[in-house]
Amino acid sequence: MTTQPDRPDPSTPGAGWLVQLTGPDRPGITADLMTTLDLLDAEVQDVEQVLVRGMLTLAVAISEPHDHDALRSTLQHLASQYDLRLDLSPIPASSGRRPQVDAVTVLGHGFETPLSAAELAAVAGGVVAAGGNVDRVVRLARYPVYAYEFRVSGADPLVLRTRLGQAAAAHRLDVALQPAGLERRAKRLVVLDVDSTLIQDEVIELLADEAGCLDEVRAVTERAMAGELDFEAALRERVRRLAGLDVAALERARARVRLTPGARTFVRTLTRLGYCVGIVSGGFTHFTDALAEELGLDHAVANELELVDGVLTGEVLGGVVDRARKAELLQQFADAEGIPLSQTVAVGDGANDLDMIAAAGLGVAFNARPVVQQAADTTVNVPYLDAVLFVLGVTRDEVEAADESA
């Protein structure tokens, strides 16, 4: 049997030259440059073009030219036509080894506070300290927060995570580190906690307010969310205090529910991009069913309160949606949609969300308790749920384009 030789990797360039044009952007520059290189019989090996506030940077890696003088004079003439600066420099042959490439997403503090040079320097410095290189920086959004994505190559992943964590802590930033590539953009199912994540409220506290026992219920809630109490026992203890509330009280509580800022944009954008969106809640179906209908969610599971003759008995029907159950539901939703867990995202804030955050391909702690922030893949500590979109690599321009095309 004859062994066929390995094919060369077309993405691995040899020695050549880097052509860079910089200056004010105008229509036709890229087309004319490519036409010129074709006439010079120069083989294009790589292209990168960036536009920042109307200023162009266009870089093209080409093969070794046959006539250096002709290349330089022809390109200089093209540059002068467009009032651009030309830089032409040799580049070494590539080793052919592909370094690890990571996506580092940096979220700022809000749309009124741009990320400072010191904050961006801290992130870039963390990359350098991990032995990596910043290949590219792209602004993802200016609203509702400033967000940038650094494409990083060659960094030691463990050192990089540590260094970025230090930069985030020092400047109170949210910094997400993920391998760049298909898997990051292949996420197809997002499952959210409800209380203090999709909505700003804790529904059991809204009900407790109706029942006149808010302080007692709130104290138990805090201990449960911090992981100090067994969730099921804490839930049943709180629900027993609600015995005697009627359906009218449930409706009043539901009317007081406030969506988290950006929640509609978050769900709407994910849906338009082809994601499935589900919610799992340690709260109650009376609230989650309404949210699912209002937002057009694909899946919704929560606890069911027992009602007899329109009055709460103080009991929960069936099994409780606790920490373990949320992870099971994440798997069930994924199975129903034919999606592997590696392509799922879980977003939550409390100890009850830890298992599903650990099970998902990407676990996001949203304005979460410290125990959750420490366990999650990344944190988002701004009050806008749609900021999670930027962690997924979705830009603000894509959000607005989806809205315009709807």
Span of 13-17, 93-97, 205-209, 301-305 with lowest mean pLDDT: 93-97
What lies within 8 Å, CB to CB, of 38 at 6+ separation is none
- pLDDT, position 4: 42
Cα angle 288, 361, 196 (rounded to 5 degrees) comes to 35
pLDDT at 19 over 60: yes
The residue with greater pLDDT, 96 or 354, is 354
List the chain domain ranges.
16-91, 101-180, 189-405
DSSP bridge pairs for 307: 312
Q: Is the peptide bond before 144 cis (omega within 30 degrees of 0)?
A: yes
Residue 17, H or E segment: strand 16-24
Dig out the tokens for 383 from the structure.
């009050």
> Which DSSP string do the residues of 46-85 spell out, in sequence order?
EEEEEEETTEEEEEEEEEPPS-HHHHHHHHHHHHHHTT-E
- E strand map for 92-232: 101-107, 133-141, 147-153, 174-179, 189-192
Q: What is the mean pLDDT of residues 46-50?
A: 91
Amino acid identity, position 103: A
- pLDDT at position 96: 55
How far is residue 339's CA from residue 333's CA, in Å, rounded to a whole number? 8
**Rounded CA separation 20/62 (Å):** 11
Residue 9 has pLDDT above 50, yes or no: no
Q: Summarize pLDDT for 206-260 with one digit per residue, the tens.
A: 999 999 999 999 888 888 777 788 889 899 999 999 999 999 999 999 999 999 9
**Whose structure tokens read 């978050």?**
266
Query: Contact at 8 Å (CB) between 377 and 344?
Result: no
Question: What's the distance, Cα to Cα, between the start and end of the chain in Å?
Answer: 57
Amino acid 98: pLDDT: 67
Give dist(CA 342, CA 330) in Å, integer.
11
d(CA 280, CA 321): 8
Annotated active-site positions, please?
193, 195
Q: How far apart are CA 10 and CA 227, in angstroms?
A: 53
Q: CATH topology of 16-91 equal to that of 189-405?
A: no
Q: How confident is the model at residue 364 (pLDDT cuts 50, 70, 90)?
A: very high
Residue 36 CA to residue 18 CA, distance in Å, equals 15
The per-residue pLDDT for 406 is 64
231 membership: H or E segment, kind and range: helix 231-240
| β-pair partners for 46 | 61
180 against 95, higher pLDDT: 180
Taking CA atoms, 5 is separated from 94, 96, 260, in Å, by: 20, 17, 58
CATH code for the part of the protein at 16-91: 3.30.70.260
Q: pLDDT tens for residues 71-102? A: 999 999 999 999 999 999 988 766 556 678 99
Homologous superfamily (CATH) of 101-180 is ACT domain (3.30.70.260)
pTM: 0.83
216 neighbors 241 (Cβ within 8 angstroms): yes
- Quick one: how far is CA 313 from the chain centroid? 42
The answer regarding whether domain 189-405 maps to CATH 1.10.10.60 reads no
Mean pLDDT (the chain, rounded): 91
Query: 274 falls in which pLDDT band (50, 70, 90)?
Result: very high
- What is the rounded average pLDDT of the residues 141-164? 94
